[in-house]
Each structure stands twice: as C-alpha cells, then as structure tokens.
Amino acid sequence: MLKKLLEFLILWIIWTLLTWSLALPDILAGVVVSAIAVLLFSDLFPAEIGRLLHPRRLFWGLVYLPVFFWQVVKSNFDVAYRVFHPTMPIRPGIVKVRTSLRSEIARTFLANSITLTPGTLTVDCVDDHLYIHWINIISEDPEEETRLIVEKFEKYLRKIFD
Amino acid sequence: MSNLVIIFLSIGLFFNFAGCLGLIRFPDIYNRLQASTKCVTLGTIFILLAVVIHFGWNSISLKAILCVVFILLTSPTAAHAIARGSHRAGFPLWEGSIMDRYREDQEGETESAN
C-alpha cells in the first residue's frame, strides 16, 4: 500500500510539472490519471525503488552519468562514421553475453545503456544472458565480448543498484 | 537566438540527419534500429537543450528537461521491443551478418529449459 502511495505521488508530481498549473481541474485530472496508471501498472514498478535513495547509491549514480554520456557521444560519432562512409564498414550479428547483475532494475538499466552505446543494441534478456546485436563484431569469443560490452557499465551499475 | 542555441540546434540536426540516412542506407531492420535509436536520441536531446538555453529557466525548459529523461528511458526500450519482436516474427538478419546466437538458442527457449 505504501509502495502504491509513493508511486502515485511520483506520477502526480511529474504530471503537475508537465502541465505546470495548479488550477483545480488540472490537479483533479492528474489525480485520476495517476490513480489509473498506478492501479494498472503498479506491478511493473521496481519494488526496491526506495533503496536507491541511499546517499552512496546516489553518489555512484552521479559518477555514472558522465561515463554514460561520454559513451552516448562516442556511439553517435561511430554510427555517423558508418552511415557517411561510402562502403559502409559493418560486420553485424547477434552475440550472447553474460551479466553478473542480480536485480531486475539493474539489468534494465544495463540493457538500456548497452543500446545507447557504440554499435550495440540489446535484443533480449534471458536469465543472466543478454542477446546483443553488434554492428561491428571484432571478436567471436563470448568471454571477450562480455568484457568489451558489459563490464564497463557493470562496475558502476552494481554499486548503484545491487 | 544566441550563437550557442544555433550551435546546439545544428549538432542536433546533424545527428538526426545521420540517423535518418542510416535508416535508408543500412541493410536490415536491426542495423537500421541502431542508427535510428542512437543518433535520433542524442540529436533530439541536443534540440531540447537548445530549447532550454533559448527560453532560460522557466516551465518550458522544465518540460524540455523532462522530455530528455523520457527519451533516454523510452527510446532504447522501444528499440529493444522492436528488435525482439522482429526476430520472433522471423525477420532475417542481413546476409552479410557474422553470426546469430539468438537463433542458435531458439530465441532463448533452450536457455530457459536448462
């Protein structure tokens, strides 16, 4: 019940920020929409969200942001290079890597981070394996692939979420 | 408009253009997703940052910043859903692809059976 109330408050605050109005009809509409969203999708919310407010986790979250942003910028130049190159240097394929992260939310963030970083796109996550579409395969050894794709994020995400 | 706004808009437009060109040039749906998610995400974020700089600190900027967060969360998720759905619907990888571990494992079915 407490979890649902917290979710409701978060959603309602986001609604209020988006509408930027404290008129009664807007507030009531926000209450109705947030309540419906919580009732329908409450199970999808990560259960351990309150734990993430711990200062040590927030600190590692702040450390992670520039690392992540740098990877995103690199990935964009990588794609732009392949797009504009006359012969399109790509060696695509789907590889399988293993993650040691335990919680669902950590794996979600890992999968999303991998998608936004150079040449990789998460296709599926089954148990502790991730299937990743890689635009330029430079190694066919699963251990090497895991090291190249997953580990640069894992060390931060483990500190934030696990 | 200040110069900084124009610079941010140009960077955003450049990456959005690269993403759209990739959508046309790349050979199969998975490579096209790579181009469109990465470039369009960063391109749109730069355009929204240009909005923030142009309007200063008010409700419009706040909405733009919220949109940045939403795009960062939803764009890779949508790409993952499209890629997984296409693979399960039987869309093949480009014939020049090196390997397909996902098909070898029957889309994860063998993994969960173990």
Best interface-test mutation with A: which of B14, B33, B42 has the largest number of A CBs within 10 A? B42
| DSSP-based three-state secondary structure for A137 | coil
Provide ipTM, 2 decimals.
0.77
Domain range for B20 is: 3-113
Tens-level pLDDT at each residue, chain A (162 residues): 777 888 888 889 988 888 887 888 888 998 999 999 888 887 777 666 666 677 788 888 888 888 888 888 888 888 888 888 887 777 788 888 888 877 777 888 888 888 887 778 888 887 777 888 888 777 777 677 777 777 778 778 887 776
CB A159 within 8 A of CB A112: no
Which residues of chain B are within 8 Å of residue A96 when distances are taken between CB atoms?
A: 101-102, 105
Cβ neighbourhood burial of A79 (10 Å; 0-12, 13-18, 19+): buried
| Both tokens assigned to A128 | 């502790």
DSSP A32-56: HHHHHHHHHHGGGS-TTGGGGGSHH
Residue-level length of chain A: 162
Q: Chain A: which residues have CB within 8 Å of chain B? A: 14, 17-18, 20, 72-73, 75-76, 79-80, 82-84, 88, 90-96, 111-113, 115-116, 119, 121-124, 126-127, 129, 131, 133, 135, 137, 140
Q: Structurally, how many domains does chain B consist of?
A: 1
Q: Which of B14, B19, B41 sits opposite A116 (nearest CB)?
A: B41
